[in-house]
């Protein structure tokens, strides 16, 4: 996806071992459509050669203040003029200290001081350096100055210690950069979502379930977080990574999903994407059901309808339902919207089975039906978020 098409990003690399991850980051930002200008500190060149970044970005790499190849000799100012963002990854403890105090004794710190574009930094250091009061003071200072801090993550460190201070992975940083540029249409809103299938136990080794990859719900959770909402995702069993900034609650059965949703309220917006099993075995067997009989009849009881229950609450959030249909999409989707008294239903015509990357989607609200142009799930999710935001702001 070309989420950074037309953007120019200055990628600053300072002298930490996480500089090796910045190579992948430069590649990913370029792959997302941006032009990437890499600026390294002298210390960073001890870890990775400038040539590596030059080969990855196809553009010259700047290290020194004293290069004479610029006519006006003003690299420390020119490089961020017209840039959409300056991202420093990794940002060492030393570099953050310099930022906090406004030092400008090399090209990268001068660029930070002379910039007229947003600055994002990805701290990377040993865990003791990170929790040191001096570092924490400096981080608070630069955050207060309007710098966006990405991470750090927790985990195993290059020094062998385990704790907070690792740089976020390149993929997560690229996603954070993409999110940074998304309009904050849901700023200040609390969004609660369900996603994935539920599993209803038949016996200790078997379940009844629905075919659902969870991809659409996860894409929507990501799109809501990108739009500035605080997002809680109640998820059935899926194999998907949690989108950045999203609080995820794992559940298995419909009853667990229902309880998790009710406990996670209040919310401003509830988006029910999960393919909840409509029925569950009335009495799951305590032991594995043995084969033998020619026929086996299952006794099923209805599961609670989570969306209908939330929509009927006296202080119900703005509720969005999903209708996956194999035919007569408009009739069925509109019928579900009316039956559950929902302001919005996302209708999905399922022709080639579930779980693919792309979807064909039509939105149904009181004003009528709104087909969305075909696209991948994240693009569709962002379009759904725009529609929700428009409806909510019209209502407010």
Within 172-231, the residues that bind ligand CTP by CB under 6 A are 194
d(CA 283, CA 202): 8
Which CB atom, from 38 or from 380, has the smaller least distance to ligand CTP?
Answer: 380
Token digits of residue 66: 């004293």
Active-site choice (23, 112, 159, 239):
159
Q: What are the tokens at 155?
A: 């985990």
Among 305, 330, 360, 375, binds ligand CTP (CB under 6 A): 305
Which of 339, 336, 185 lies closest to 269, judged by CA? Answer: 185
Place of tokens 């090399």: 106
DSSP state of 366: T
Tell me the closest approach of the beta carbon of residue 254 to ligand CTP, in angstroms.
6
Nearer to ligand CTP, 108 or 257 (CB): 257
Contact status: 272 vs ligand CTP (CB under 6 A): yes
Question: If binding is defined by CB under 6 A, does position 384 make contact with ligand CTP?
Answer: no
* Interface pick for ligand CTP out of 108, 142, 208, 306 (rule CB under 6 A): 306
Catalytic residue list contains 159: yes
Q: To the nearest whole angstrom, how small is the minimum distance from the Cβ of residue 212 to ligand CTP?
A: 10
In the chain, which residue ranges form alpha helices assigned H by DSSP? Answer: 19-31, 50-57, 75-78, 93-101, 107-114, 127-131, 133-144, 170-181, 215-226, 254-264, 306-311, 329-339, 377-395
Given 112, 307, 361, 384, the residue binding ligand CTP (CB under 6 A): 307
| CB 391, min distance to ligand CTP, A | 16
Among 4, 48, 274, 388, binds ligand CTP (CB under 6 A): 274
The stretch near ligand CTP (CB under 6 A) out of 18-26, 46-54, 292-300, 315-323 is 315-323
Question: How far, in Å, CA of 107 to CA of 300, rounded?
Answer: 69
In this chain, which of 80, 110, 303, 359 binds ligand CTP, going by CB under 6 A? 303
Are 232 and 263 a contacting pair, CB within 8 Å?
A: no
C-alpha span between 102 and 261 (Å, rounded): 47
Strand partners, 271: 193, 320
C-alpha separations of 320 from 168, 265, 330, 384 in Å: 33, 15, 16, 10
Q: What angle do CA 47, 50, 54 make, to 5 degrees?
A: 135
Specify the pairing of strand 361-365 against strand 368-371. Answer: antiparallel
Residue from 278, 285, 369, 370 binding ligand CTP (CB under 6 A): 278
CB of 309 to ligand CTP, least distance (A): 8
- Contact between 254 and ligand CTP by CB under 6 A: the answer reads yes
- Taking CB under 6 A as the binding criterion, the range among 62-70, 105-113, 129-137, 270-278 that sits at the site for ligand CTP is 270-278
- For ligand CTP, which stretch binds (CB under 6 A), given 75-83, 96-104, 287-295, 303-311? 303-311
Burial class (CB in 10 A: 0-12, 13-18, 19+), 392: middle
**Nearest approach, Cβ of residue 305 and ligand CTP (Å):** 4
Size of the site for ligand CTP (CB under 6 A): 15
Closest CA to 235 of 209, 261, 268: 261
- Residue 120 DSSP label: E
125 binds ligand CTP (CB under 6 A): no
Could you give the CA distance from residue 208 to residue 299 in angstroms, rounded to a whole number? 12
Q: What's the min distance (Å) between Cβ of 281 and ligand CTP?
A: 15
348 binds ligand CTP (CB under 6 A): no
* Least Cβ distance, residue 359 to ligand CTP (angstroms): 14
User: Which residues, numbered 316-345, are part of the site for ligand CTP (CB under 6 A)?
Assistant: 321-323, 336
Residue 289 CB, nearest approach to ligand CTP (Å): 25
E strand or H helix at 347, and its extent?
Answer: strand 344-349
Rounded distance between C-alpha atoms, residue 15 and residue 90, angstroms: 8
Please report, as ranges, the residues that interact with ligand CTP according to CB under 6 A: 194, 254, 272-274, 276, 278, 303, 305-307, 321-323, 336
Q: Which residues are catalytic?
A: 159
């Amino acid at each position: 996806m070309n989420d950074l098409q037309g953007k120019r990003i200055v990628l600053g690399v300072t002298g930490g071992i996480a500089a090796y991850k910045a190579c992948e980051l430069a590649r990913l930002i370029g792959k997302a459509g941006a032009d990437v200008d890499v600026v390294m500190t002298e210390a960073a060149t001890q870890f990775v050669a400038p040539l590596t970044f030059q080969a990855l970005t196809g553009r010259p790499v700047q290290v020194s203040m004293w290069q004479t190849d610029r006519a006006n000799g003003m690299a420390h100012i020119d490089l961020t003029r017209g840039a959409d963002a300056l991202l420093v990854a990794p940002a060492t403890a030393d570099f953050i200290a310099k930022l906090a105090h406004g030092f400008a004794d090399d090209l990268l710190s001068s660029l930070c001081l002379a910039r007229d574009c947003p600055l994002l930094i990805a701290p990377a250091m040993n865990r003791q350096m990170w929790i040191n009061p001096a570092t924490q003071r400096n981080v608070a200072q630069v955050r207060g100055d309007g710098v966006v801090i990405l991470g750090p993550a927790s985990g195993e460190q290059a020094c062998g210690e385990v704790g907070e201070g690792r740089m976020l992975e390149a993929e997560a940083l690229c996603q954070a950069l993409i999110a940074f540029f998304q309009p904050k249409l849901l700023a200040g809103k609390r969004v609660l979502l369900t996603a994935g299938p539920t599993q209803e136990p038949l016996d200790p080794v078997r379940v009844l379930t629905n075919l659902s990859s969870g991809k659409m719900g996860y894409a929507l959770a990501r799109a809501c977080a990108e739009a500035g909402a605080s997002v809680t995702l109640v998820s059935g069993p899926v194999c998907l990574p949690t989108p950045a900034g999203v609080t995820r609650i794992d559940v298995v059965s419909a009853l667990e999903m229902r309880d998790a949703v009710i406990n996670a309220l209040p919310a401003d917006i509830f988006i029910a994407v999960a393919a909840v099993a409509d029925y569950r075995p009335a009495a799951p067997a305590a032991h594995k059901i043995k084969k033998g009989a020619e026929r086996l009849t299952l006794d099923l009881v209805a599961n609670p309808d989570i969306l209908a229950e939330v929509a009927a609450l006296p202080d119900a959030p703005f509720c969005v339902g999903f209708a996956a249909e194999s035919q007569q999409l408009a009739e069925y989707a509109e019928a579900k919207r009316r039956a559950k008294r929902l302001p919005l239903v996302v209708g999905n015509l399922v022709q080639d089975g579930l779980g693919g990357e792309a979807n064909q989607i039509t939105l149904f609200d009181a004003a009528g039906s709104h087909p969305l142009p075909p696209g991948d799930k994240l693009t569709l999710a962002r379009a759904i978020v725009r529609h929700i935001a428009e409806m909510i702001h019209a209502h407010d």
